[in-house]
Structure 1
Amino acid sequence: MSDRSEKASPILLAIAIFLVSINLRPAVAAIGPLVAQIIGNTGINSTVVGLLTTIPVFLMGVGAIYVRQIRAALGERGGIAIGVLIIALSCLARYWLPSGAGLLVTAVGAGVGITLVQSLMPGFAKRNFGGSTSRIIGLYSTGIVVGASIAAGTAAGISDAIGWFGTLAAWSAPALVAALLWGVSSRHATSESAVNAPAAGIRAPSFWRSARCWSLMVFFGVGTGAFMLAMAWIPPFYLERGVERSNAGLLLSVLTVVEAVTALGVAAFIHRFPDRRGPLVFSLLVTALGFIVLYEWPVELAYVAMALLGIGIGILFPLSIIVAIDHVDDPTTAGNFTSFVQGGGYILASFVPLFAGAVRDSLADLSRVWLVMTIGSLAMIVLAVRYSPESYRRFSASLRVTSTFSAAEATR
């Protein structure tokens, strides 16, 4: 861990984390409102459009699983800065690569950049904010949905002026601003450096062997899958029902605005719920209800469906991260564990928009997908009720026992 003679400003650092997080979804969220133009200009089908979401999310998952190696190679502060710059360059490249192949290549780049930020940010936040970590993660999650909201809500209007490829490229500007502020604000922050290595004889816990790890992974995957599905396919779903392009984008924007406000509420009030099970179950019920409304009354109650999904996902997404962090006390181990959970969860979630695209190609309708997500949301309640604070302590203790045992083995 780096030693700093000066301390970073917590307020400036929190603002930088928020601005960085805003840039973690526009490369994906801006695609949905522009699907008709993209398909018309490039000739790709809905399954390939689904890949434009699947590829970044899948890479987020793979990168998160290898967070220890990423941290060792780049360090937390430097890795986050590099990630934001890669996002900026990937967005900018879309201006000169307005083709199906170009979109896929830049989707890979965006996925790599997002992966670096998301893998390293939880551990960095816990290291610098301690007992306020849950609030910072809530703020960070709020920034993610704010970025998605702005990208979805403005895409149609901006594309009328500068084209769909210019709209996608425009998101390079806020990413560059965020990278600059990050460099300034995090200069004196506490950050694990690239040169650190585990102490001799100490082996990191094996998360793969824990049933709780797999449980949290599936839980995060379903919640994130719902988020990614909404971003990728809500606008095309409404376009198929005769809704104008600007209004279809507006519906997604409403959903993400509600998500952002809800996530901000989570950041402000989650400390009053040390037992997270109540909010988790509530979020799953509301999410399921939102998908039911979307399935049964998609046009008549469109804004009701968007509000319900926004509230449900807006609670579920940040809480999925917070609950994982709650399980571990040590900042480095918490970062590794959270990234492991997010990694597997993102890999699972990445196939949801791809599945939706394949369904759209084969059935010319996405309604069945909403029904599947309703069932999945309700099924997750079975897992949520098991996440008690006492279970966190038992899990953390089991990790300490494993690490101690590994160290003892090494001294024989």
Structure 2
Amino acid sequence: MKTERIPTVLILILLGLNLRPILSAVGPLLDDIQRQTGISHVTASLLTTLPIMVMGLGALAGRQLRRGLGEGNGILLGILLIAFGCLLRWLLPNAAGLLASALLAGAGIALIQALLPTFIKRSAPNDSGRLMGFYSCAIMGGAAFAAALTPSLAKPVGWPAALGFWAIPAVLAAMAWLYCRAPQHDSAARQEGGRILMRRSPRAWLLMLFFGLATCAYTLVLTWLPPYYTAMGWSPVDSGMLLAGLTLCEVAAGLLFSTLLPRWADRRTPLFIVLGCLLAGLLCLIFAPQALVIAICILLGVGIGALFPLSLIVALDHLQDPEQAGDLLAFVQGGGYLIAALAPLMGGLLREYFDDLVPSWIAMAIFSLVLMLIASRLAPGSGRFHLRPGA
């Protein structure tokens, strides 16, 4: 990687690290939060579902956000909204405050995720896939840190202050973005070669469905894996460490597959590998959650960790123009996150009805088979998009 690209890599990592603590910090403390606030399983699921829904809606508006705010200002606003959302959980530790913070932080994450793909494609047009992989791994790394550290922080200071702590790295990332961003990326208005007609492009819909179902695995595990194990007698710290360990496996897998990506011109090969790991991990989670906990950690970590960046990279591969690629990823992530937002809610409803999370893991295993079927259709050069000229 060229030396002049190092600042871009660092800022992508700093921003990525702040995009999931608002979600992953909650899971290990969810039982305590429910006891102290009185929220139900369904309401608890909204702490993940609401930000992901907002992320999806924000991604769908990515083109308008890019033109209205510009990449520089929009990303800065996004990271500040995340910081304020985290702080609000300390200031208002009740059901209304938690839900409001989820919406605010979700809006911040939506801004960053809608605007960064264009920034990445323009900053490194010949290496955007690998940079997207590193950025995705940073997202998962932030989730790991939050899952591991928050329960330990909550012991001396309480869960509201522990959740509010994650405003600090968000503020640091905002300062770094102000210092490091390049002026040429702040322009909101650019001439574009043509706009993709998403509704008339079956490939765009297929990529959106693939990303959405793939992200269901991430959101479902992120929300309900710690409560699944606390229900079996694990402590919040231990369940948080389990989620952190799984997430570190995700980071390692994401980095490995992103580094090896140039070896696979046909992305279906790594996709089938990681989807097989995901399915195997879910089956272990269903049939032997305690006896095979290490295997579950590794298999789910590899499956989810590599699948997340690969699902973005596969979409990014389809177009070379930065603006068109940004529009496509906005559509893919927008609809995809709306699909993925339903997974934690599904888990909450099934747990409310069955008093068990096993039905949720079974549903995700079925989704994994559907993902394999979709992946078989993602041959290189097989996608076509309807375009209209002008900007």
- Interval of TM-score (by shorter of Structure 1 and Structure 2): over 0.9
Q: CA deviation at 1:209?
A: 1.6
Distance in 2, matches of 1:343 and 1:88, equals 22
Contact 2:198 2:331 survives alignment (8 Å):
yes
The question of 1:103 aligning with 2:98 is answered: yes
- Offset from partner CA, 1:296-338 (integer Å, 9 cap, x none): 0011111211110000111100000001111111001100111
The question of 1:286 aligning with 2:296 is answered: no
- Counterpart of 1:191 in structure 2 is 185
- What are the equivalent positions in structure 2 for 1:158-197 lying under 5 Å apart? 158-188=153-183, 190-191=184-185, 193-194=187-188, 196=189
Give the residue type in structure 2 aligned to 1:386.
R
- What are the equivalent positions in structure 2 for 1:10-409 lying under 5 Å apart? 10-188=5-183, 190-191=184-185, 193-194=187-188, 196=189, 204-392=195-383, 395=384, 398-399=385-386, 402-404=387-389
Secondary structure, aligned partner of 1:118: helix
Number of residue equivalences:
389
Secondary structure, aligned partner of 1:41: helix
After TM superposition, which residue ranges in structure 1, 4 or more long, deviate above 6 angstroms?
none
Q: CA deviation at 1:78?
A: 1.6
Q: CA deviation at 1:192?
A: 5.7
Q: CA deviation at 1:378?
A: 1.3
Q: CA deviation at 1:236?
A: 0.3
Give the residue type in structure 1 aligned to 2:45.
G
Q: CA deviation at 1:187?
A: 3.0
Give the residue type in structure 1 aligned to 2:145.
I
- Counterpart of 1:5 in structure 2 is none
Contact 2:73 2:186 survives alignment (8 Å):
no
Q: CA deviation at 1:110?
A: 0.4
Contact 1:9 1:185 survives alignment (8 Å):
no
- Counterpart of 1:4 in structure 2 is none
Distance in 2, matches of 1:9 and 1:167, equals 37
Contact 2:27 2:224 survives alignment (8 Å):
yes
Query: TM-score of the superposition, structure 1-length normalised?
Result: 0.92
Give the residue type in structure 1 aligned to 2:63.
R
Give the residue type in structure 1 aligned to 2:41.
S
Give the residue type in structure 1 aligned to 2:197.
S
Distance in 1, matches of 2:329 and 2:232, equals 40
Q: Please tell me the root mean square deviation across aligned C-alpha atoms, in Å.
A: 1.5
For structure 1, the 5+ residue unaligned runs are: 1-7
For structure 2, the 5+ residue unaligned runs are: none
Distance in 2, matches of 1:35 and 1:95, equals 15
Secondary structure, aligned partner of 1:161: helix
- Percent identity among equivalent residues? 40
- Offset from partner CA, 1:267-323 (integer Å, 9 cap, x none): 211122121000011111110111000000011111211110000111100000001
Contact 2:81 2:104 survives alignment (8 Å):
yes
Distance in 2, matches of 1:180 and 1:388, equals 42
Tell which structure's C-alpha radius of gyration is larger.
Answer: 1
- Offset from partner CA, 1:235-274 (integer Å, 9 cap, x none): 0000111112211111111110000111111221112212
Contact 1:226 1:313 survives alignment (8 Å):
yes
Give the residue type in structure 1 aligned to 2:96.
A
Contact 2:194 2:324 survives alignment (8 Å):
no
Distance in 2, matches of 1:68 and 1:125, equals 15
- Offset from partner CA, 1:204-258 (integer Å, 9 cap, x none): 2211121111111111011111001111110000011111221111111111000
Contact 1:285 1:378 survives alignment (8 Å):
no
Give the residue type in structure 1 aligned to 2:14.
L
Contact 2:245 2:297 survives alignment (8 Å):
yes
Q: CA deviation at 1:203?
A: 5.9
